Structure 1
Amino acid sequence: MFKEIRNPDLYHGVNRKKNFFEGWYFKIVDKNCDNVFAFIPGIAKGNSLKFNHSFIQVLDGKKVKYNYIKFNSSSFKFKKDKFSIAIEDNNFSLSGISLNINNEKDNISGNIKFENVKKWPDSIVNPGSMGFYNYLTFMECYSHVCCIDGNIIGGLNINGDYIDFTGGKVYIEKNWGRSFPKSWIWIQSNSFDNKRVAFTCSIGRVPFICTTFSGFLVSIMVEDKFYKFTTINRSKMKIIKKDNDVNIVFTKGRLNLNVMTYSNKYEFIQCKGPKDGNMIPLVDESLNGKITVELFNNKINETIFKGVGNCAGIEYGGEMQIL
């Protein structure tokens, strides 16, 4: 168990028999942001064996298409000592993915490799992006950023078209536990012009013992420097809802991070998410949004970074007003 805590990339469900889910989220974008896909392999264990299965979710952000592909739970394979999972002939790891999907909705095959992968900086005390919360065994949902930014080599054959992702970007995260939060916001982009910049933001209403709180994991990487705004490091957050979008301001000491989303309500895809280990329609996600990000140092009155993130992932769930 300690191994999985120290390396949250690994599979956590070996001894979990029911009311459990675990899924890894791979978002890939080509060089010019003309194509953006998400592949979500995972496993679900409901309150009865008949609900147990593994799955791959396929999201096509540009065409606003979705496919939930079910497999037997026995098709899910994993390695104990490193991040490497497989569902039938589909393999997923930090070094790349190989796909062989062929059903009535999708025909996808090929191999792509990931290089120059950047992980969330952590420590023994605060492993992964969720930090010391990983040591607590009673959390409803755990979240972890496996790769905040990486480069892609190779392409995929997708429904009769070859798409070259070389020079594009990959982002990888995962969730596991019992259920998604009652309310959440997720925003992500690592497709910025000119500089190597990656932004990720997860906000959720977290049940904790006899109360709840709004927890958040936010990071922006500018070139090779990470700036973290999290519940753990006592950052502050203010959310302003604007129609279908949000303006969020994070503050940590002298640093101020201002984020604004821009989305089209017709580009959101309804996906399945976990409730007590059962996968149900729960998630509304767009892969075709935009965000503006400004990181500012108040002490010296200087803008560290200001820019636009394209092919942004934007996701809302539940009752946003309680965040």
Structure 2
Amino acid sequence: MTQICFSKQIGFLCCPPLTRQTSFAVLYLRKEFSSSFHKRQYCIAPNLPVVQQNSRCTSSSYDEKRIVFTPHWKVLEAVPLLKGYFFEGYYFRVSIPELSESFSIIYALERKSSGWEYTAQVLNSKSLLFHTFKNSQFWHLEDTFGMGQWQLEGSTLKVGMDLGLPRQLDPSIFFHRIPLGFQWTRHYHCGSLIDDKDSSLSFSWSLDIHSIDGWGSRGRDPQRSTASWLSHIPFLFDPGYQVLMAHGLGNGWLRWKGRSYPIRDCPVYIEKNWGQRFPKKWFWLQCNSFCTEKDLSVTSVGAIRRVLLKLEQEETVGMLSIHHRGRHYLFTNWTSFYVTWEVASWGSWNVVAESTDYFAVLRAWCDSPGHILLGPALNGLQPNTRESLLGHLQIQITEKSTRCKVLDDYSNLAAVEVGGEDKYCWDTVWTDTVLQLPLLLRNVIQYFDGVE
């Protein structure tokens, strides 16, 4: 039995409620395990520092720039043959630590009864841009990652048609001949978008992308599937999920609402999801720009998702992932004892996880109200997501055998998010625990993990 106390509402220990001034020291873990063979009990109360509110994150160049190949990189690789709604979404984020600013570009590729539709949302700390690609021409590569859009209308229609079939163009030609659209490959991402309702809200960008971490330990393990190799089985889980690049660096420029932002070795993060709709309920946290460590990326998610092989069957899944100096600390139900969390409807996220060797604590909070994003539902994109790029996040890992801190860092540039099918699913604080899978199933998942 695993018991966890985050606040006085839980009632296991007398703990003060978590606020943004609260230290990690108020998080206590007590784990009891008993069987016919043995019984153990211990308590860990790390003496961790209070978060420094005025800490400022900085970026730095990284020596090793390489190509990483994770599963699920191909565009539209999992489109079912059966007709019905299907989406494939991509999330691209670049952070500018010196300015305490981030930009996220979110693409949605939707198959509806009327055909395919394509949209993009661009989020930064203060504004949200939404663009629908009308009269657009979509292209994607079959054998590797690459896709793009040409939006041609009016006087630009003939100019674009002179270029031939939609395809990847030289950046100078793209920006000169394609007024609206984007193109994205493993190494380069550029485009130009305008908000559907506010023409003064514009965004253009040109970024070279250098990979550092995909999903797995660097240089040793094969790159892995975020949701294990089971994510390759069609019609098993909905939605599918894959972190394509846990950490990378971008170089180039952004232009947002007329202001230019030079990008020099700024942190980049990329992920993908696909299926019929987003989970029934979820939270999501991501950060790869920290105050002390330049070689660090953190992702955590908890969700209630559908198991499609059984009618109306659902399951709760949770994960805490830390890529740190080339090593991947992964806490899931096939790698650790448990992942447990307490998440408010907005403003507070607390995650604790434990494996055989390590104990991890993540705490995040957000003073910003965030923005409402559109996410896939059964009837298309719906306002079911709230996200902010101004979250505070502190992550700590302790090695259990020595009780030494492996990692303790803070950021004020975390992406924090909650979402759900309806407004009632977040009426109360969400407290849940994902426990370890049976040994045989864990071994099967780990044996084939990383194999496409």
Q: If the length of structure 2 is used for normalisation, what is the TM-score? A: 0.65
The counterpart of 1:49, out of the listed 90, 110, 114, is: 114
Q: Cα gap change, 1:276/1:313 in structure 2, threshold over 3 Å: closer, same or farther?
A: same
Helix, strand or coil for the counterpart of 1:233? coil
Q: Which has the higher strand share?
A: 1
5 Å matches for 1:156-167? 156-167=254-265
Deviates more, 1:239-248 or 1:176-185: 239-248
Helix, strand or coil for the counterpart of 1:134? helix
**Match status 1:246 vs 2:343:** no
- Deviation, 1:157, is 1.9
Q: Cα gap change, 1:94/1:277 in structure 2, threshold over 3 Å: closer, same or farther?
A: farther
**Match status 1:37 vs 2:99:** no
Question: Counterpart in 2 of 1:278?
Answer: 380
Question: Counterpart in 2 of 1:258?
Answer: 361
Helix, strand or coil for the counterpart of 2:74? coil
Question: Counterpart in 1 of 2:204?
Answer: 109
**Match status 1:77 vs 2:174:** no
Question: Counterpart in 2 of 1:197?
Answer: 296
Partners of 2:318 and 2:356 lie apart in 1 by 16
- Deviation, 1:32, is 1.2
Aligned length: 313
Question: Counterpart in 1 of 2:277?
Answer: 179
Partners of 2:296 and 2:265 lie apart in 1 by 15
- Deviation, 1:277, is 5.9
The counterpart of 1:128, out of the listed 217, 221, 225, is: 225
Partners of 2:399 and 2:260 lie apart in 1 by 44
State, as a whole percentage, how many aligned pairs show the same letter: 21
- Deviation, 1:156, is 1.4
Structure 1 gaps of 5+ residues are 1-5
For the Cα contact (< 8 Å) 2:332–2:339, is it kept in 1? no
The counterpart of 1:93, out of the listed 164, 170, 185, is: 185
For the Cα contact (< 8 Å) 1:257–1:296, is it kept in 2? yes
For the Cα contact (< 8 Å) 1:59–1:67, is it kept in 2? yes
- Deviation, 1:220, is 0.4
- Deviation, 1:110, is 3.2
Partners of 1:253 and 1:277 lie apart in 2 by 43
Question: Counterpart in 2 of 1:3?
Answer: none
Structure 2 gaps of 5+ residues are 1-69, 151-180, 433-452
Helix, strand or coil for the counterpart of 1:217? strand
Bigger relative contact order, structure 1 or 2, given CA contacts below 8 A and separation 6+? Answer: 1
For the Cα contact (< 8 Å) 1:33–1:191, is it kept in 2? no
**Match status 1:7 vs 2:85:** no
Question: Counterpart in 1 of 2:124?
Answer: 60
Partners of 2:382 and 2:398 lie apart in 1 by 40
Question: Counterpart in 2 of 1:168?
Answer: 266
Q: Cα gap change, 1:181/1:238 in structure 2, threshold over 3 Å: closer, same or farther?
A: same
Question: Counterpart in 2 of 1:119?
Answer: 214
The counterpart of 1:232, out of the listed 334, 353, 362, is: 334
Partners of 1:222 and 1:260 lie apart in 2 by 17
- Deviation, 1:265, is 4.5
Partners of 1:26 and 1:279 lie apart in 2 by 18
Alpha carbon RMSD of aligned pairs, Å? Answer: 2.4
- Deviation, 1:15, is 4.9
- Deviation, 1:13, is 4.9
Q: Cα gap change, 1:31/1:265 in structure 2, threshold over 3 Å: closer, same or farther?
A: closer
**Match status 1:308 vs 2:410:** yes
Q: Cα gap change, 1:137/1:28 in structure 2, threshold over 3 Å: closer, same or farther?
A: same
5 Å matches for 1:18-33? 18-33=84-99
- Deviation, 1:127, is 4.4
Helix, strand or coil for the counterpart of 1:110? strand
Partners of 1:39 and 1:125 lie apart in 2 by 28
Q: Which has the larger radius of gyration?
A: 2
The counterpart of 1:317, out of the listed 419, 426, 430, is: 419
**Match status 1:293 vs 2:395:** yes
Q: Cα gap change, 1:45/1:156 in structure 2, threshold over 3 Å: closer, same or farther?
A: same
- Deviation, 1:133, is 2.3
For the Cα contact (< 8 Å) 2:215–2:224, is it kept in 1? no
For the Cα contact (< 8 Å) 2:340–2:431, is it kept in 1? no
Helix, strand or coil for the counterpart of 1:120? coil
For the Cα contact (< 8 Å) 2:333–2:339, is it kept in 1? no
Helix, strand or coil for the counterpart of 2:142? coil
Question: What letter corresponds to residue 388 of structure 2 in structure 1?
Answer: S
Question: Counterpart in 1 of 2:9?
Answer: none
5 Å matches for 1:140-151? 140-151=238-249
